[in-house]
Amino acid sequence: MKIKMIPIGLIHTPFTEIDTIPIQSSRSEILGSVEVFSEFAQGMQGIEGFSHIFLVYVFHQVGKSISLSVQPFLDDQAQGVFATRYPIRPNCIGFSVVQLISKDNNILFFKGADMLNGTPLLDIKPYIPDFDVFSVEKTGWYQNRKHD
């Protein structure tokens, strides 16, 4: 099976170094923008009606070596990569829920940047609490971490 994805745009943020990025969008007040390529701009019709959106993107600056056991940023113990949000993964796909501030033609302005400048954007999806908020019973290693 061959899977091919093409970027639909670029994410612009003030971050040029990986070690300066906030660990999650929910912990970031940093502003950013999404430049959706003109051939995909029509797909943003109605997006301004949402306060939050998912940005799905490629971790384009991570190393090529993959480890299935990683140490998450908020823990001091190794975990399986699929039990973390660690960026170095078999398929370097990331996502962030960000607050949509405004739309100007093919540009979206948002708060909650936690990605590098120039990150290739794969998709945008609306955040809908009725679908996206769950009452959880357990959060794995995160609930037992030693530090925050």
- List the pLDDT tens digit at each of the 148 positions of the chain: 999 999 999 999 998 887 776 777 777 788 999 999 999 999 999 999 999 999 999 987 776 777 888 777 777 888 888 877 777 778 889 999 999 999 999 999 999 998 999 999 999 999 999 988 888 777 777 777 755 5
pLDDT of residue 101: 97
User: Does some domain include residue 104?
Assistant: yes
pLDDT of residue 24: 72
Nearest-5° angle of CA 29, CA 32, CA 34?
145
User: Does some domain include residue 139?
Assistant: yes
pLDDT of residue 146: 59
DSSP helix/strand/coil, 38: helix
User: Does some domain include residue 93?
Assistant: yes
What's the domain range around 132?
9-62+89-144
pLDDT of residue 118: 96
User: CATH no. for residue 106?
Assistant: 2.40.30.70
How many structural domains is the chain composed of?
1
DSSP helix/strand/coil, 107: strand
User: Does some domain include residue 70?
Assistant: no
Q: pTM here?
A: 0.85
CA distance 73 to 113: 17
- Do residues 123 and 56 make contact, with C-beta atoms less than 8 angstroms apart? yes
DSSP helix/strand/coil, 148: coil
Encoded tokens for 127: 């955040």
User: Does some domain include residue 3?
Assistant: no
